[in-house]
Amino acid sequence: MKNSFFFLTIALSSLFSVLSAADFTVTVLSGMDKVFPEIDDFSFPLGWKRAEIAAAGRESENFQVALIPLAKALDGVSVTVRDLRMEDGKIFPAGKIVWHRVGYVRTKSGTGTLTRTGRRWPDVLMPGEPFSVARGFVGSVFFTVTVPTGTPIGVYRGFIDFNAAGAEKQSVLLELTVRSFDLPLRGKLRTQFSFHPGTWEAWYHPERAREAYGVPASAPAGSAYGNYFHDSAGAKDLLSEKDWFRVYDFLLAHRLSPVFIYNWNSVKTPPRIFPPLEHLSYCYGAE
């Protein structure tokens, strides 16, 4: 017991000595962790510099890396992803590893269960461009690793480098295990999310959608705005068939079926069937 305590003390002392000499530190986190921007809300272990993920062909997995300034603020933070390699020399290309800076939204109101009312929450993924992190705050980088079909199975390893102006480079090791099978492009289960056609039409043609669906100019944005599109059987389809197939391909690429479980019935007009019957063979069909 005494020996264990001794070695733990030595390990912690070494860690703190390294941190005190560095300009910033990085630590690997799960893609499911919520990393708040204020350092006083950061409760994750420091110094974890190894990311281990596993994925099948046509599957994407993710993880995060938190950056914490120590001596000074970080400016011009950049991320360099290197190719991953197996011991026999096979390469997993760096181009299949995409990173985004985690962005934040500030809440304005909430219930008693929302303890961070008025503060910022991690929400949107920003473009992978150089960024800054002020001292006393945390920057989070979100990585998505996509394994193409037919990728040779095995364990690939490589490093990801984090650089900031005037600071010593920090790196983490990424270990990717590619499984021995590919996921199908199309599934047989409906998606639980709502992909109402009017929502897509409003995204691509907002003004035309407002006119076609009779949405008043005072209508709020967000989910309440989308409620106007549920009664849409009588509205003109604002997207071409080619555009709809682009929507289907986007959803399928993210392992989401374009066919959802909800049926928007209308008391005014017959419900609009989406996807239309002539498109179901594409959404459900064999590869």
Q: pLDDT by residue (tens digit) across 254-273?
A: 888 888 776 554 445 556 67
On whether residue 191 sits in a domain, the answer given is no
Task: For residue 219, give its domain range.
Answer: 197-284
pLDDT band at 14 (very low <50, low <70, confident <90, very high): very low
Q: Does 95 reside within a domain? A: yes
> Is the dihedral angle over the CA atoms 149, 151, 155, 161 positive or is it negative?
negative
Query: Nearest CA to 138 among 14, 26, 15, 277?
Result: 26
CATH of the domain at 145: 2.60.40.10
Token code pair at residue 275: 């996807």
pLDDT in tens, 85-141: 999 999 999 999 999 999 998 877 655 555 667 788 998 999 999 999 999 999 999
d(CA 194, CA 175): 35
List 30's β-bridge partners, or say none. 63
Q: In this predicted structure, what is the pLDDT of residue 191?
A: 80
Q: What pLDDT, in 10s, does the model give residues 62-83?
A: 999 999 999 899 999 999 999 9
Tell me 215's DSSP state: -
Contact call for residues 25 and 19 (beta carbons, < 8 A): yes
At 257 the pLDDT is: 86
Query: Which pLDDT value is given to residue 265?
Result: 46
Average pLDDT, the chain: 82
Give the total number of structural domains in the chain: 2
pLDDT value at residue 21: 56
What pLDDT score was predicted for residue 275?
A: 84
Domain membership of residue 187 (yes or no) is no
User: DSSP assignment, residue 142?
Assistant: E
Q: Are residues 72 and 30 in the same domain?
A: yes
Q: Does residue 4 lie within any of the structural domains?
A: no
